[in-house]
Amino acid sequence: MPSPPGAPGRGWRLAALVVVGLLALASLVPVANFIADDLAAPWYAEVAGGWLSGGAIALGAGAVLSLLSRRLPWLWRDGLGSRWLTRWDPASRSALFLVALVALGLYLVVARWVLAARPLHIDEVVQALQARTYARGRVWLPADPDPAFRSILHWVDHAGRSFGHFPPGGPAVLALGELLRAPWIAVPLTGAGAVLAWGWVLPRLEPSPAIRGGALLLFALAPFPVFPAGSHMNHAPALLWLLLAAGALLRLDPVEPRPALGFAAGLALGLAAATRPPDALALALPGAAWTLWRLRGSKRLGAVVLAGLAGLALPIAGLLALNLATTGSALRFAYEYLWGKNVGLGFHPAPWGPPHTPLRGLELVNLYLLRLNVYLFETPFPALLPALGALALARRLPPGDRLLLAWGGVLLAVYFAYWHDGFYLGPRFLLGLAPGLALWTARLPALVGEAVPTRGAGQAGGGGMDGELLHRGVVFAGLVGIALALTTGVPPRARQYATGLHTMRWDADRAASEAGVANAVVLVQETWGAQLVARLWALGISKPQAERLYRNVDACALEEGVTALEGEAVAVRGDTALARLIPLMADSLRVLPSTLSPDRSERMLPGARYPTGCVQRILEDRAGTTLLAPLLLARRPDLLYARNLHQRNAALLRRYPERAVYLLRQPPNELWPRFFPLSRDSILTAAER
């Protein structure tokens, strides 16, 4: 099978080897473990041991089977694998749609039976809430008069408006599913769309039908793309738009480019930007440069550029209009309003946690690549090695591959400059690398066979290791790796995902019906720490500053400070409230994670004596807590879930005078939360004392 056509050059070869070497080091050596801070890969030693043993099994089996195939012809039939993979060549529409249909079925299975058809991550919960807002024909809801009861992370209360902080692209996709009362099917559909888009791209990258078929199957069925495609996250929708944009760019003829393709590329990039702006930037920068260079001699360059800008402007205009309707400024994004300007790319103090520095960026990229080696294929050897090996062996790099590799390089650079550690269902920020890695992995066997001369082909014992024998060994080792991934890698990962985040899976509507709970205010017993943070938000203290106070002040001292501010005759809010609380951080270097409460995020000052009220909060933590955020997605209109805020509960109950009252918490030794009836009169009487 031939390599992709293109112009060879020593400069390319040297650059490729340098890049491959750096990526190999970054993806195999745990640099983060050698730096004394909070970022590390404590699991690395165990994983590396598994790679050594699993890799030895795969390589050893590959070598043995390769040698045996010379003596046992039935083990190897020339061209059989190529003919089988060619059946899945995405140039064939029937093959492409069949693979996409199988992938959709797999993604739906993951969504329903592994991820419980529910948002399991706070990002998913907030995007699902945004989706419900959009499905109602609105972009914001009226803010709660007392946001302390129902505010959650990533949710904005601004100028009487309440809305999520995520760009609209992901929630808009979920809103389509929400209209069917099945939002969990929306992201799997975009995952299958990404498979179709990748099949559209592949003929412009790879001339070999067999390699195209292999690259399509690897991308569609690899564990790392599969699990995010079953979630409520926005990564699969963003990848769909990016692959469509790449496909349109690759189809631009250098001599007679069609402006319609420029418009399509711009529109897709705009939709990606409205979904995940950093990911869109990672393709937009190299895509623009690549297009201008490729079309530099065409008379239609200007028309293509204008068409691309027109396509880009449509979703961007919608995004700016949404910003204006929510934050009050077209250029102010909700996440920037919520977390401040430091939420974006760059090296600066982070919204929470340590400042983002180039060294920290290096650590994060190192962690992402280490994890990608594990999660991409779940093979018993590092998953990036086949792709890196193929890239090192390639003697040519066609224009389309240059665009794909530049996209991947800029993606790594973007997340090198981003402060947050994005880990959920794998290193989710790097999902955009999956298509290219699938392609280069599929290319490895052919490139290995070409790189080594064939000697004595077909002769038993003829001439030692040669290209054909090595080619067979790589294929056999890959098949063994796939078999081990399917039997020892993927099932444990699926079980891990299926049993994790237990509380988020609880069906509150069903449980309430079974418990006979109806027409009620349900006070949700969150941890003392969660209550404190929500009360800080209600005082008008920004979420970054609230995090800073919470992480650096003894919980009881913070409780007393917040209670004092809440009791003021004249409301104290915002900067004034913050100025009153900042002195509590005087002991920030001495506070430690709490040993009194099950919630270790709470802080305690060694030797501090807690009054009765603080002791009561700790006893409540020990008696069992649960989470408010997933309950905001409950569909029973007669049930209002709100955070238990003790003395403040009376104000909430007066707003709903006809409703019963329950406390919801999860006792320590029970599997699920439980409803406990409360006396409305007792709560109101206690508040009047």
- pLDDT per position as a tens digit, 289-314: 999 999 998 999 999 999 999 999 99
- pLDDT per position as a tens digit, 660-677: 999 999 999 899 999 999
Using H for helix, E for strand and C for coil, what is the string for 396-437?
A: CCCHHHHHHHHHHHHHHHHHHCCCCCCCCCCCHHHHHHHHHH
Which of the listed ranges 267-276, 453-462, 675-684 does the model predict with the highest average pLDDT?
Answer: 267-276
Prediction pTM value:
0.93
- Predicted local confidence at residue 10, as pLDDT: 67
If you average pLDDT over every residue of the chain, what do you get? 93
Three-state secondary-structure class, residue 69:
helix
- pLDDT per position as a tens digit, 493-522: 999 999 999 999 999 999 999 999 999 999
Alpha-carbon span 471 to 655, nearest angstrom: 74
Q: Is 20:226 a contact under the CB 8 Å cutoff?
A: no
Dihedrals phi, psi of 38, to nearest 5 degrees: -85, -10
- pLDDT per position as a tens digit, 144-203: 989 999 999 999 998 899 999 999 999 999 999 999 999 999 999 999 999 999 999 999
Q: Is 157:169 a contact under the CB 8 Å cutoff?
A: no
Bridge partners, 163 (sequence order): 156
Using H for helix, E for strand and C for coil, what is the string for 462-515?
A: CCCCCHHHHHHHHHHHHHHHHHHHHHHHHHHHHHHHHHCCHHHHCCHHHHHHHH
Taking 80 as the threshold, does the pLDDT of residue 686 lie above it? no
- Predicted local confidence at residue 456, as pLDDT: 53
Give the H/E segment covering residue 192. helix 186-201
Quickly count helices (H) and strands (E) in the chain. Answer: 28, 9
Sheet strands side by side (includes 660-665): 639-643, 520-524, 660-665, 674-678
Give the H/E segment covering residue 660. strand 660-665
- pLDDT per position as a tens digit, 155-170: 999 889 999 999 999 9
Residue of 558, 522, 530 whose CA lies nearest to 649: 522
Secondary structure letter of residue 604 according to DSSP: E
Taken as a whole, the chain contains a residue count of 689
Segments making up each domain of the chain, as ranges: 1-78+344-401+425-502, 506-525+624-689, 532-621
